[in-house]
Structures are given as C-alpha cells and as structure tokens.
C-alpha cells in the first residue's frame, strides 16, 4: 500500500513516552503497509525551536528502533505556505480581521452572558475598504481567518469510527497572526499535501481540529488524508504526562536503564486489545499492529509496569543478544553466566554486581562464623558443575542437621553478599572453590 505517515514534533523540548507512542503507532502502520515514514520538525517557532532538541528527538527515535525514511523541516517551506495563503485569499477563504485580543475577549464574554456560543461573529467581513484603511492607518495590523463553509464535516476515523463536526459551531480559525507568522494549522496542512501524507495518526486531543483541517485540504484542492485519533496516554493517577515531562522523557527512561524494546512494547500495546508483553524486535510489534485494536479510552502509564516489563525482557533475552551489550559494560561472562543471572535483573546494569560476584572481590556477609567455617572445610573438589551445590549442601545437612533457610541462607550471604539472587546451583560453579573458601572464612576473595 502506497502512502506516507508523519511524526511532526516541535523541537522545543524532549519527547516523552506519550509523544513516542504516537511516533511508534505511525511507524508501525507505515512498516505494515509499505508506506513512507516521515519525521517532520514543525519548527516555525524560531524562538523556542533548537537544533539541540531536534538532534535529541532523532536520537531518541533511533534508540527506539525508528529511523525515518525522510526528514523535513517546516521552517524551510515558508514559500509553499505563503503560496497557499495567497491562493486562499484569492478564493475569498482567507480574510483580514482587526480586533485586538481584548476586544475579542469582550465579545466572547457578551455572547456567554446571552447564553450564546462564543463563536466569532465575522464582523470583519462587513468592513468596507475605507474602514480597513482607517484601521490600518491607526497602526492596526490584521490577523487572517479561514472562512469555514457551513454544515457538517464528516470522516471515518480509523480508531473512533464515523465522526461529524458542525462547522457552524466553530469560529473561523486564525491561520496567520498579526505579525505575519503562521499558526500550526496552515503549514501542517500544506506540508501534509506536499509530502503526500495519506494517514494522520495522532492523539484524540486533535479531534476538534479535524473538521477545520478537512475543509482546508479541500479549499486547497487536495483530498484529505485518513485520520486515526488514538486515546491519550496519561500518568498512573490520570494526570497529563506533560506535567511529568522530565521523568518520562525518552532520554530520561534510557538513562534510567530502561530497554528500548521495553519502552517500545509498552507504547505500542498499552491501550490496545493486545496483552502488554515484552517483545525483543520491532518486527514482532509490526505484525500485531491494527487500528481496530486501539482503544478510544485514555491509557494509563505506570512506571512500575514499565520496570516490570523491562525485567521480563531481560529475563527472556538470548545470550547472543546480550553478549555485545555485556562487552560494552566490560563484562566477559559467557553463556553460563548470562543464563545464571539474567532472571534476577531489572536493568541490564544490575549485571555488573553479579559479574563482580563471580570474577572479583565482594564483601562477604557472615552471620554464623562457625557454620561457614565448617562449610568451607567441606567444599567439594573441583571441577564443579551444576550438581556441585546440591552435593555440597547435602553433606552440610548431614553434618549439621540443618535444613531450609538455616541451611542455605548463611551460604548465600557469604558467597554473594546478598540474601537473594540467582539460583545458587547455577552461580556456585562460576564463583569457584578458592573464592568460595575465602568468603566463607569472612575474607574478600581474590580474583
């Protein structure tokens, strides 16, 4: 299926998990249908946009496994936006208005007092050429509104189903400010037309904009794209994510040790009819994607759920996938080491402690010195294997009469420094006899 989808962030800040979800949904549909995926920076706000934020957004998307087919910058397309505005003026669909913000506020207040909707009254359309000249002579500069056609605007939303908006209930939207700068609507529609955008996938907070945009597409002689408005992602308490931008930005989640595929899996599956489960590759998520599975209801993002998903992903990670990541951390563990410790990891960085346990010094915890000394004297001869722990603890049980926690816990504390962790049968052979003997005697084991 031909076509194109776009993710169009403003490079005025970091993207968070909610923004990333929209990007991922667009990317999944593009990959499933063979459409192009476009990253378009809506960077017309020159004061707030920055190259640093644009670079950070590209980096965050790449970390999630999303590499755009094309990258565009809205700020470089001013000539196309100007041409479209002139076309609308010539067609009588873009008209100048001279009211100040205070005057508009007073108008809306009067309408509310009369129990009328605060819709712009189109007073500017009644101005004569002489009146406009007088206002401009007073120093007023016009803002420009798009003249809406009356009647219902309807579309079949890929998530929400059939939708309709009465254009008569809307104010003619301002497309150009008095200083000549564009608001979001016109550049977005013009760029969507020129880039061949076939599907617009975005949050439900944009539903109210869609009727205006459909009319604008048609006024510019273009066929509107298909729209899909997904439910928004909220924090666990139901509040907006933007209030927690710092903690839930993609860069912050990456710095906190979250796996890219844990973040991508949660973003793609939360608020759908699919079970939220970790996936090791983006291709698995592409196969699961369908608009019909997206819910209209808001989806709540809980950091604890992401952490649990992260742990599950690591627990299932194959050694071949983990090996280059371990090498980056300076860890030389083999398959036996990875398979022994992965089930106890929440973040990959947790593996560093367990590498230290099997390869270096730790501070042993001795709760029962006599018992640990006896255990050291009964250590089996090497080489050790997966049965060595069982054989050793069986000898200790016979020698002391201990069982359960009393038998095992002092040994775990002495050998690993912690009261929980990997199965001792798997990690015990990796520690080896000399380090085990030293730790059981309360000494730091030598490498």
Residue in this structure with the two tokens 């949904």, named with its chain if needed? 25
Over 60: is that where the pLDDT of 133 sits? yes
Statement: residue 244 has pLDDT above 60: no
- Residues 321-334: pLDDT tens digits? 999 999 999 998 89
Q: What is the per-residue pLDDT across 207-231, written as a single tens digit (0 to 9) for each?
A: 999 999 999 999 999 999 999 999 9
Please give the C-alpha separations between residue 428 and each of 359, 374, 375, 387, 407, in angstroms, as whole numbers: 12, 17, 13, 10, 15
pLDDT range class, residue 234, cuts 50, 70, 90: confident
pLDDT at residue 445, as a whole number: 55
pLDDT class of 358 with cuts at 50, 70, 90: very high
Q: pLDDT tens for residues 375-391?
A: 999 999 999 999 999 99
Q: How confident is the model over 302-351, as pLDDT tens digits?
A: 999 999 999 999 999 999 999 999 999 999 889 999 999 999 999 999 99
pLDDT score, position 239:
77
For the stretch 171-206, pLDDT in tens is 999 999 999 999 999 999 999 999 999 999 999 999
Quote the pLDDT of residue 36.
98
pLDDT value at position 163?
97
Q: What is the pLDDT of residue 246?
A: 61
Sign of the dihedral defined by the CA atoms of residues 355, 360, 363, 364, in that order: positive
Domains of the chain: 4-68+231-310 (3.40.50.620), 76-230 (3.40.50.620), 324-447 (1.10.10.350)
CB 413 within 8 A of CB 364: yes
Q: What is the pTM of this model?
A: 0.90
């Amino acid at each position: 299926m031909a076509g194109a989808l776009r993710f169009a962030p403003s490079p005025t800040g970091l993207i968070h998990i909610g923004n990333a979800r929209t990007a991922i949904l667009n990317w999944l549909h593009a990959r499933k249908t063979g459409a192009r995926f476009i990253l378009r920076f809506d960077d017309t706000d020159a004061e707030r946009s920055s190259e640093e934020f644009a670079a950070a957004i590209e980096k965050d998307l790449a970390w999630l496994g999303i590499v755009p087919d094309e990258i565009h910058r809205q700020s470089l397309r001013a000539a196309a936006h100007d041409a479209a505005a002139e076309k609308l003026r010539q067609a009588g669909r873009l008209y100048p208005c001279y009211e100040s913000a205070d005057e508009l506020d007073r108008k809306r207040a009067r309408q509310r007092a009369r129990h009328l909707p605060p819709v712009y009254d189109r007073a500017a359309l009644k101005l004569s050429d002489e009146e406009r000249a007088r206002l401009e002579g007073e120093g007023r500069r016009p803002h420009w509104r798009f003249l809406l056609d009356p009647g219902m605007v309807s579309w079949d939303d890929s998530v929400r189903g059939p939708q309709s908006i009465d254009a008569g209930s809307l104010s003619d939207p301002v497309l150009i400010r008095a200083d000549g700068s564009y608001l979001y609507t016109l550049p977005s529609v013009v760029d969507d037309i020129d880039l061949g955008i076939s599907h617009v996938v975005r949050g439900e907070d944009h539903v109210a904009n869609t009727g205006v945009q459909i009319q604008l597409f048609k006024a510019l002689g273009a066929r509107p794209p298909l729209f899909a408005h997904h439910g928004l992602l909220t924090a666990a308490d139901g509040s907006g994510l933007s209030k927690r931008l710092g903690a839930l930005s993609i860069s912050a989640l990456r710095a906190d040790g979250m796996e890219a595929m844990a973040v991508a899996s949660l973003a793609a599956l939360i608020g759908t009819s699919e079970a939220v489960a970790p996936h090791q590759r983006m291709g698995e998520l592409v196969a699961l994607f369908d608009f019909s599975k997206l819910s209209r209801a808001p989806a709540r993002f809980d950091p604890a759920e992401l952490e649990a998903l992260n742990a599950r992903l690591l627990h299932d990670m194959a050694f071949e996938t983990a090996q280059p990541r371990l090498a980056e951390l300076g860890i030389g563990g083999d398959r036996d080491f990875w398979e022994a410790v992965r089930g106890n990891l929440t973040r990959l960085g947790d593996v560093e402690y367990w590498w230290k346990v099997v390869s270096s010094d730790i501070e042993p915890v001795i709760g029962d010195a006599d018992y640990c000394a006896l255990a050291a004297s009964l250590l089996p001869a090497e080489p050790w294997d997966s049965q060595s722990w069982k054989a050793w603890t069986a000898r200790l049980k016979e020698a002391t009469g201990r069982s359960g926690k009393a038998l095992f816990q002092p040994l775990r504390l002495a050998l690993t420094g912690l009261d929980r962790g990997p199965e001792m049968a798997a990690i015990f052979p990796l520690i080896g006899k000399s380090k085990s003997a030293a730790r059981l005697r309360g000494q730091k084991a030598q490498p």
